[in-house]
């Protein structure tokens, strides 16, 4: 019997946009220093649903659910632009790149959330906010370090990093490793199939 695995459902971002984002935020990386754990560019994605522990038996069920939901939504354009932080600029915990998405993405995300809840995965306690996590502020950060992050973020004039047409939704396996997480696609469904 195979052990459970950590998994999430997401839309992958094209490598070209990840590269532009990494290059244009290099200055932010330098100013924020070691007080932020930066997400490796290959791991940047738009999370639609974090599942946590997933039993191997549910991989097939979730794959069918994702396929069914994706078939009802046409491909759509996503614009990657702007930078910000959650919960706010003064007390950043997560540094993100903004996404301009159509209403159809919100509908797709809600349907995936609903179907995952039917399989026993608890719904998110916060409303869905389309973004790319690019960094997480470390737990033990001094006031000075927090101020440096705020100054660096507010001083960046981040315009558009790129745009693309989302065509697939993927169920990823996440393995935590010493060098950082490794994400492996388990299943992908085409939008509008």
| pLDDT reported for residue 142 | 86
Residue 141's contacts (CB-CB under 8 Å, 6 or more residues apart) are 35, 149
More confidently predicted of 156 and 101? 101
Fold of the 5-190 domain: Cyclic Phosphodiesterase; Chain: A, (3.90.1140)
DSSP line for 56-103: HHHHHHHHHHHHHHHTTS--EEEEEEEEEEES-SSS-SEEEEEEE--H
Give percent above pLDDT 70 in the chain: 97
More confidently predicted of 77 and 91? 77
Crossing angle of helices 103-118 and 56-70, rounded to 10°: 150
Question: For residue range 128-160, what is the model confidence (pLDDT) as tens digits?
Answer: 999 999 999 988 888 888 888 888 888 776 789
Say if strands 160-166 and 76-86 run parallel, antiparallel, or are unpaired: antiparallel
Q: Report the range of poorest mean pLDDT among 120-124, 162-166, 170-174.
A: 120-124
Ramachandran class of 51: left when φ > 0, alpha when ψ lies in -120 to 50, beta otherwise = alpha
pLDDT of residue 2 exceeding 70, the answer is no
Where exactly are the structural domains of the chain? Answer: 5-190
| pLDDT reported for residue 1 | 41
Structure-token match 């996440």, residue found:
174
Torsion of CA 165, 9, 102, 159, to 10 degrees: -70
The pTM (predicted TM-score) of the whole model is: 0.90
């Amino acid at each position: 019997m195979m052990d459970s695995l950590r998994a999430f459902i997401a839309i992958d971002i094209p490598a070209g946009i990840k590269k532009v984002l990494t290059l244009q935020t290099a200055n932010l990386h330098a100013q924020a220093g070691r007080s932020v754990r930066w997400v490796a560019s290959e791991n940047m994605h738009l999370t639609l649903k974090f599942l946590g522990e997933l039993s191997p038996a549910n991989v097939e069920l979730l794959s069918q659910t994702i396929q069914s939901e994706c078939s009802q939504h046409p491909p759509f354009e996503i614009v990657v632009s702007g930078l910000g932080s959650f919960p706010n600029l003064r007390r950043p915990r997560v540094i993100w790149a903004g996404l301009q998405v159509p209403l159809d993405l919100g509908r797709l995300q809600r349907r995936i959330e609903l179907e995952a809840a039917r399989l026993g995965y608890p719904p998110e306690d916060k409303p869905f906010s389309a973004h790319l996590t690019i960094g997480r502020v470390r737990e033990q950060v001094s006031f000075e370090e927090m101020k440096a992050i705020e100054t660096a973020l507010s001083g960046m004039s981040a315009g558009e990093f790129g745009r693309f047409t989302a065509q697939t939704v993927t169920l990823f396996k996440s393995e935590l490793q010493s060098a950082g997480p490794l994400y492996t696609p388990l299943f992908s469904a085409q939008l509008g199939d």
